[in-house]
Structure 1
């Protein structure tokens, strides 16, 4: 839809009678592949993030979602939210009832939208309507569209979550597991890690046997400082609730 058609008085669609039927239209537009972004910025087509934004809009009693509100709810940047709102308007799913205003130093008022169902949706599913203009109401559906509307009903009832972005790991910082044993197969191609129970059971032996003949471990200055702090806390009654690191710092010159 052109920018001039993205207003309530100019749209050819009808006002959605409820958020549930509007989400059916959103899912149908998403799955139809009819929309391609004509701009050089933003997503090329409607995606699961667009549906997640639409779900937040559908949950509003008064359709006046601010950019900051949607960005916080869907965990997107304000610019990304604007992209998805633009796509919903250009597909005829959202139209302006009033456009937001901005006053320097004061802020502004968020745009008020109306959730609408495009004519192409009614025609594709054979939905019959009565009335004129945006106030048209559905009164029936052709037999060919009953199966499709049933599938859309299941999608509309299901909560869609925006997929999480995986942070790519550069080849220069990737950690490669150490190869165990004398086998010639590299372990770098396997993503399976042994369970903690196997690691703790002692069944996996290190190729280099470690000597068990060790004498008592000697404390360094920091260790001796903490040891003295614990002894003082046990011996001095008024230090019982004191922190070991704090006492250790206090006695650092005599430890």
Structure 2
């Protein structure tokens, strides 16, 4: 009791209306003590408190890797299962991965074999000082209002570079050889249905999304092929049509000529 009285005495600073000052202090400490007794404030604040990072929270490519352009894959991480890869059938995932290796190596698809079945799935990626999330991260965090998992990427077709908009499902690291120089970060994306420009300005990119129930086109791309994290602005006339915007980027080139087609990826 003497220690408690001493603590209260040190908190009373007022030389005028000292009794009022003492009453305010007693009331404040009593309320704080009741809250700490009734609620676990530490666990309640844990969801908004920044967590400490460690070397296990991200992965980087080896310095000798030919695809190393200093990107990183960020946690949370997961491993591939037998039947599904983050809600995608494993057969679909492996087929798109073969198509990617065929496209990037210009080898016939029939010659491509997936030799390494070790995949480390990541929910986020750091690219060009921007963190791009994925549908996997949205599911884990229960985030359904933000659209920061869309990206503009390039893919070549007959020596022509085309742009596409994709919704990132997840990222993963893969090396189909035993040479560490061939390690690379890849992205599994859901590609939008159509890519074009507005009728009144060829520098404004537009896309049309897949309707509910329609067959979705997936693709595997290299993380280095991602050009911008983008946002989509819905048109009022058509709920499936969106204009494409990007932070710190002004589209001033003719995007109509370089718009990609699903059959070319």
Give the TM-score of the pair, scaled to structure 1: 0.21
Superposition TM-score, scaled by structure 2 size: 0.20
Structure with the higher fraction of residues in strand conformation: 2
Larger radius of gyration, structure 1 or 2? 1
User: Higher helix proportion, which one?
Assistant: 1
Q: Which has the higher contact order (CA 8 A, sep 6+)?
A: 1
